[in-house]
Amino acid sequence: MKKNKNFSKLQKTFQNRTIAIFLISLFIVAIFAVRLIWLYNSEYRVRAAEQRQKTIEIPAHRGNILDSNGNILAESVKVNVLYYIPEKISQQQRDVLINGLSRILNINTDEINEIINSDSTVRIADGLKKKQVDEIKELKLNCLSISVENKRYYPGSPSLSYILGFVDKDSDGMYGVEKYYNEDLKGKPGLNIFSGTREGNPIAFEKNKKLNAVEGKNIKLNIDENINVIVANVAKEAYEKYQPKSLSIIVSEPKTNKIVAMENFPRYDSNNPRQGRTKEESNELETLSEDEKVEKYYDIWRNIAISDTYEPGSVFKLITTAIALEENTANEKSIYKCEGIYTDIPGVKIKCIRWYDPHGDQTVEEALANSCNPAYVRIAQDIGYAKFYEYIKSFGFGEVTGIDINGEAKGIIPKSAESINSTQLATMSYGHGIAVTPIQMITAANAIVNGGYIIEPKVVKEIEGKEDKEGPAVKRQVISEETSKRMLALLANNVENGAASGVKSSNYKVGGKSGTTIKIEDGKYTSEKVVASFYSTFPIDNPKYSVLVVVDEPQGSNSGNAVSGSISKEINNQIVKYKNLEDHSYTAGEIEESTVPDLIGLSLKNAVKLLEKNDLKANIVNTSLSDSIIITNQSIEAGTKVEKNSTVDLKADDSGTSLIKVPDLIGMSKSEVNIEVGSLDIEIKNKGNIEEGKVSKTIPEYNEFIEPGSKLEVIYESD
C-alpha cells in the first residue's frame, strides 16, 4: 500500500515536471517565434530582399525629328540585324553560308570569307526584310544570329545629314540637331525593379515596382524638306559639273533668320556615317590606322556651313556699302574714281576686275554694280578705321551667331581698330583679309535686307510640349530700316545692270551680289584657286527667302556670278515655283538679244573687244596685269543668245603666253581656208587634192591650241 502511494506521488511529480518543462519550452518557442516574426518584418528582411534585388533599364523611345510640314526626317525603328558568331564550321556549312549570304544579301564571296575568318562577332547587315529573315533561318546555321534592335533611321539621308547629325550605339546624339537637342530627344529610361532568384526569376515582394520610361520629345524644324530637296538636287549637279573641293548652300527667311535648307557637298550619310563620302575617301579610310580614322571622321562630320571660314570677297561689299550709307559718309550718287589699279598705299597694288579698261568716275551705285575694288578702298577710307571696325563687330563677324547646332566657328577679324593698318582696311572693304563662316555671312546679309536686324539663326521650330513665345531672337539693330530699303534697291540694280546678272529672272524681282575670292597658296594669291560665292534674296520688294552659295575651288568657270550665281538662280526659280511667288505684274521690258561669240583662245584684249562689239560685258578673275593673257574658259557657251549687256565671265591662262586655237576648217576649199587663217600667225602645210578637194582633216585638230608660228597640216580630199 505504501509502495503504491510512493509510486503515485512519484508519478504526479513527474507529470508536474513534464508539464513545467513543456510550458517552459512552449514559452521559449513563443519567444523565438515572436523574435522570428519581428525579424521577418524588420530591416534585415528588407536587406536580404535588397541583396536579391535586380534592376533592368527600360529604354525610352527617342523622339522623332520632323520638318516644318510634319514630314519625318529622323525616327527610331525596329530592325532585324544579322550577326556572324565565330565558331568552327565544316566545309559543307561554309559552302551553305557562302552560297546563302551571296544569294540572300547579294554579298560577294571575298566579303563572306573575310567575315568567316574573323575572330570576333561581325555585324553583317541590318534592316533585313521578313523574307530575308526566313531564308536565313532556313540555312540552319548556328553561327548566324538574328536579333531585333532599335535603330535610328533617316528616310531622306544623305540629304540634311549636316543638319540632323546621327546617334551612337547608345542612341546618344552625335552632331547636328541629334546632339544639340539630345536631352529633349532621348527621353528618360524606365526601370523594372524586382527581387529575384539566382536564376533571375521574380519573387513576390511589396518593394517590387516598375518605373515607366518617359518618351523623348518630338522636334519640328524650320527646315522645309521640299526646299531642301531642291537645294540638294541642284547642289549635286553643280558638284559633279564644277568638281570643287567643297560646296555649301544655305536657304533662310531673312526676316526671321529661320534656316529653311542647308546642304554641303561632299556629304555623309546619317544612316552610315562612318562610310566615306566619295569612293576615293572610302578607299582612303581602308588604309588608315584607328587613330587616323577618328581624325578623318571628324573631318567628314564637320559642318562647313558653320565651322569653316573663307574670305567672302565682293559679297562683303554689301557690308561696306551699308556702313557708308548709314554713317552718311557716302550716298548712292557719291562719285569714286577707278583708274584700274589703286596704288596710293606704298608697296601695294589693288586691281579692279576691269584693270584693262578702268571704270573712271562712277557713283556708289555703279561701283557696287561694277564690283570695283579701288572704289571700295576709297569708300572704306572715308568711313574710317574705328567706325568700320565697330560695324563689322555689330554685323556679327568675329563672334558666333548662336545657331542651334554644335561646332560653330567665330571667324577671324582684327583684334581692334587700332590693330588695323591701311592695307588691311583697304582689302577688308572688298572682303579680303577677313575670314567668315557661311552662316555669319548670310546672317549679316539678311540684316541688310530685313530692316537692319541681326537675328540669331534658328534650325528648330518647336519642341513637343514647349511653347516658343519669344519669336525671332533679335540681337540688335545694326542699320536703320531706311538704309535697308536703300540697300534693297542697290541689290536689285546689281542684278538688272551689274555683275550679279547670274540670277536675273523675268518672273520675279531678285537682288544679289556675287563674290570671287582669289585664294592664297604658298603665301601668294593664285587665280587658279578661288572661292566663288553669291548672296541673293527675293522677291526684292518683300524678301521672303535668301540664298547663299559658296563653292570652294570650282573647275572650269570660276567667278561667283558664273558658278554660284547659276546655282542660286536654279534654286531661286524652283522655290518661286513651289511657293507661287511669281510676280505677274512684273515685266522685264522688251528684251534685245545678242549672240555670245567664241572667245576661247583669244587674248583678253581681243575677247573684250569682241564682246563689246556684240553689246556684251566681260568679267574676269585673274592675278595677271597683262591684257595678252589667253582666254581658256567662258561662262556662256558660244552661240548662245542672251540679253544685251549681259556679262560673260572669263577665265584666262595667267602665264600670258599667246596661244592660237585651231579653227574649224573641215569642208572648206583652199581659198576659204586662206581667208579663215589669214590673220592667224600660223604656217599652213597643205596635203592631198589641194586644188579640187575639200578639207577632211587638220593636224592638230579643231579646238586644239598651238603656239604662234606653228605648222598646221591641212589635208584635202575629193568628194
Residue 356: its pLDDT value, please? 83
Side-chain half-sphere of 576: how many Cα atoms within 13 Å? 25
Q: What is the reported pLDDT for 426?
A: 93
CB contact at 8 A, 141 and 135: no
Considering the chain, what percentage of its residues have pLDDT values greater than 70? 87
Q: Rounded to an integer, what distance in angstroms lies between the CA atom of residue 109 and that of residue 94?
A: 11
Compute how many other C-beta atoms are within 10 angstroms of the C-beta atom of residue 569. Answer: 23
- Rounded to an integer, what distance in angstroms lies between the CA atom of residue 107 and that of residue 123? 13
Q: What is the pLDDT of residues 428-452, one digit of tens each?
A: 999 998 999 999 999 999 999 999 9
The residues, ordered by sequence, that sit 6+ positions from 187 with a Cβ below 8 Å of its Cβ are: 60, 61, 62, 63, 213, 214, 215, 216, 217
For residue 538, what are the β-bridge partners?
A: 545
Q: Which of the following CATH numbers is that of domain 62-186: 3.40.50.2300, 3.90.1310.10, 2.30.30.100, 3.10.580.10?
A: 3.90.1310.10
Q: What does the pLDDT read at residue 254?
A: 97
pLDDT higher for 21 or 381?
A: 381
Interval 64-89 mean pLDDT: 88
Distance CA 474, CA 454 (A): 6
Q: What is the pLDDT of residues 582-606, one digit of tens each?
A: 886 656 556 788 899 998 888 888 8
Which helix H or strand E contains 112, and what residues bound it?
A: helix 109-116
pLDDT for 199? 43
Strand pairing category for 202-203 and 190-196: antiparallel
Greater confidence (94 vs 513) lies with 513
- For domain 660-717, the CATH architecture is 2-Layer Sandwich (3.30)
pLDDT of residue 337: 94
**Grid cell for residue 679:** 590673220
Using alpha carbons, select from 607, 604, 700 the residue that is nearest to residue 653. 604
Cβ–Cβ < 8 Å for 276, 283: yes
Note every long-range contact of 198-204, with CB atoms under 8 Å and residues 24 or more positions apart, other chains counting: 200/54, 203/49, 203/52
Q: Residue 49 pLDDT more than 60?
A: no
pLDDT band at 25 (very low <50, low <70, confident <90, very high): confident
The pLDDT-based confidence of 8 (bands split at 50, 70, 90) is: low
Among 490, 18, 384, 403, smallest CA distance to 222 is for 403
Which class would CATH give 596-653? alpha beta
Provide the residue type at 656 as one letter.
G
**pLDDT of res. 205:** 46
As a residue count, the chain comes to: 719
Position 146: which residue type?
I
Q: What is the pLDDT of residues 288-314, one digit of tens each?
A: 998 999 999 999 999 999 999 999 999
Per residue in 316-366, pLDDT (tens digit) is 999 999 999 999 999 999 999 999 889 898 878 888 888 888 999 999 999
d(CA 506, CA 589): 9
Identify the pLDDT of residue 50: 56
- Contact yes or no for 86/143 (Cβ under 8 A): yes
pLDDT of residue 200: 43
If you search the block for the grid coordinates 505677274, which residue do you land on?
584
194-215 average pLDDT score: 58
Q: Taking the alpha carbons of 561, 567, 570, 576 in that order, is the dihedral positive or negative?
A: negative
Condensed to tens digits (0 to 9), the pLDDT of residues 102-153 reads: 899 888 888 888 888 888 788 888 788 889 999 989 988 888 888 777 788 9
- pLDDT in the model for residue 67: 95
Q: Of 472 and 458, which is predicted with more confidence? A: 458
Whole-number pLDDT of residue 42: 59
CA distance 244 to 483: 36
Residue 225 parent element (H or E): helix 225-242
480 and 281 Cβ atoms separated by less than 8 Å: no
b/e code 689-717 from CB counts within 10 Å (16+ = b): eeeebbbeebeeeeeebbeeeeebebbbe
Domains 596-653 and 660-717 share a fold: yes
What DSSP designation does 435 have? Answer: B
- Average pLDDT for residues 23-44, to the nearest whole number? 69
H-helix or E-strand spanning residue 258: strand 258-265
Per the DSSP assignment, residues forming a β-bridge with 652 are 631
Give the C-alpha separation, 402 to 457, whole Å: 7
CATH of the domain spanning 306-464+473-578: 3.40.710.10
More confident site: 621 or 286:
286
Q: Do 397 and 436 contact (CB within 8 A), yes or no? A: yes
Band of residue 248 on the pLDDT scale cut at 50, 70, 90: very high
- Please give the grid coordinates belonging to residue 604: 583678253
- The full set of domain ranges for the chain reads 2-41, 62-186, 306-464+473-578, 596-653, 660-717
Reference 618, options 639, 638, 634; nearest CA is 634
Mean pLDDT of the chain: 86
Residue-wise pLDDT tens digits, 528-555: 789 999 999 999 999 999 999 999 999 8
pLDDT average, residue stretch 389-413: 96
